Every structure is written in C-alpha cells, then in structure tokens.
Amino acid sequence: MKIFYSEEHRKHDPPFEVFDGGKRVPYYENPERMDRISAALKKTDWAEFTEPKDFGLDPILAVHDKNYINFLASAWSEWLASDPEVAASPGQNAFLPATFALRRKPRLPSTLLGKAGYYIMDLSACIVEATYKAALASANCALNAAEFISSSTVNRPQSPLAGSSAFALCRPPGHHAGKDYAGGYCFINNASVAANWLSSKGKVALLDIDYHAGNGTQDIFYERDDVLTISIHGDPDYEYPYYIGFADETGAGAGFGFHKNFPLPTGTTYTGYLSALDEALAMIKNFAPKHLVLSAGMDTFDGDPLGKFHVTQNGFGEIGKRITELNLPSAIIMEGGYANEALGDNMVKLLGNFK
C-alpha cells in the first residue's frame, strides 16, 4: 500500500493549547502521533512510504476561501512583526485569538486579531511558524492518495481493488476545517480537498469515522449532490464541536439528502458502532460512487483521552473489513486519534484490510 507522508508536519509543534475550561495543556495533536503510526507501518511488509508531490494551491482554493488561505499563510509573520515581545521568544508562543465571531453574518475586520477570531473557531487551532507549510504538505498527501487511486482505477479496470487504496498520513488533520475557518487542530480540510479533486472523475462518497463530527466537511459539501458525506460521531449535544453534526442536518438545496450524521451516545460500544456503520455503508452502496474517501480518526478507541466510545483494537480490523466490502478504490485520510501508545497498532489493524 502506498503511504503518502511528509516530514513537514514535524515543525508544526505548538507549545500548548487552551483546553476545556481554560486549562493550558500540552498540545494533544503532536508529532509523536505520526512517529507511532509510521513505526507500526514500517514493521509490516506492505507499507510503501512515498513523499508527496506538490499540486499547488488550485485544488485547495477549489474548496477553501482564498482570503482564509491568505490569512493562514501570513498570520504568524504578521503577529511577530506586530509584537516585539513575541518576536523575542517565538518558540514559547502560539498565535490564537481572544475573541470569536458569532456567525450571524459578521463583517471581516481589518486587524490581525480580528481576522483570527473570524477565521479560527476554537483554541486548539494554534498557529506557529510552520503551521501553514505543514498544512499544505498534509493536503498534498491527501491529493497524492486521491490521484493514486484514480490512476489505479484507470489502469486496472478488470480488478478494481488491485493496488487501488492509498493512505495519506496527514498531519495536521483536516475534517474540522470549513470553507473559511480553522478549528479542532485542523487548517485545511484534507479529505474534502481530495474528494473534490476526485469528484471531477465521478461521484464520491466521503465517510468520516473520527470520534468527532466532521463539521468542516459537512460545511463544504452541504449543498452538493455529487459527493455523499457521512459522519459517525459522538452526539454534539455533549461532544465537540457541539454546534453541528445533528441527525436532522441532511443537506440543503441540491445537496438535500446527500449528507447524513450518525450522532451516537457517550459510551457507545463496538456493537453499537458497527450498527451505525452498516447503515452508512448501505447508503454508500445505494449512492454507487466511483471512489471512496475515508476520514480515518482513531479516537473512537476505548481509552482515547479525547473520546468516550469503546471500540477495541480488533474492532478497527472489523471496521476496515466491512468498509473494504464496498469494493471501492479508497483514499484513507488520517484524522484524529490521541491514545499515542496504541495509535500505530490501531491504524495498522484498520489499514491491513485495504492492502
């Protein structure tokens, strides 16, 4: 299996985040996550690591607002230039807003901190010097995976699954990033960029199995009928991102009926999770897409510090097995998962079905 991975992620290493209730804690979405996954993959005989090529900005701007991307590109340098104290010790700081725009058609302010509150939805999307470069590399990992499975479909029409899956080992993750905002450790929506790129070649299904609702993905495709989006997650009535991901959100306009949320209760077991997954897979079969994009978050794991589900390591194997039964060329995009000691083995269990 092709594994698209870039070392650029390593420089995105915020010194802290501001967690629930205002606690300042070490950054959960840290480089160790990638080290654990890559180490586990390198123990297999089927993982082939490849540096991603650069697709340029066009596929990203097809999904994200240009002014938002410009903000990500310049925010850190603008902040250093505006604050000598921060410039004197940049490694101890991360750029975050102190105010947030209530999304009632607010105006975009002209000041840097005003823009930050407009374009960032929470205190986990910390920007440091290399955040933008890492986000670009992450999106390119996803685009390379999309291109690979598309080429595999063309080259192997008689054997649709032969070599037609790829894993984008993305960091930072992406599914909380909307058209014009960052949040939940996410800056560019990697899975959405990949799905949109694939949509020019036929219908696409995007299945999100991360513990948290894929609010950014929902935002991006909510009015489209060429990409079916499905998210299985903790009920936002009790879980982040709180304000999106409810069962009655099913798309709008041309996209009505082409989005589905499965908000599950706290403490959901492996059995309960599989029940929702089977319903999601039936929807995908009925949609009959040409390609599948899988937002693969491992934070449904029993014991993940940011999740409240009880999926076991062997459970990830069964989840992967059921998804592969769709017989679709699949771009698997790394999202969350913060139980670092188990993260690599969990990912191998899932991916082993696609090799």
Active site residue ranges: 176
Q: How many CA atoms lie within 13 A of 10 on its CB side?
A: 5
Check: CB of residue 309 under 8 Å from CB of residue 302.
yes
Within 10 Å of residue 146's Cβ, how many Cβ atoms? 31
Cα distances (Å, whole numbers) of residue 299 to 303, 305, 331 = 9, 8, 19
In one letter, which amino acid is 252? Answer: A
Ordered strands of the 2-4 beta sheet: 48-50, 2-4, 165-168, 330-334, 291-296, 204-208, 227-234, 259-264
* Helices marked H in 21-102: 32-42, 58-61, 66-82, 84-88
Collect all residues with Cβ–Cβ distance below 8 Å to 129 and sequence separation of at least 6: 11, 76, 90
Token pair for 322: 């059921």
247: burial class by Cβ within 10 Å (0-12, 13-18, 19+)? exposed
Check: CB of residue 272 under 8 Å from CB of residue 280.
no
d(CA 96, CA 294): 30
**DSSP character at residue 182:** B
* Residue position matching structure tokens 């920007």: 127
Containing 283, the helix (H) or strand (E) segment is helix 270-287
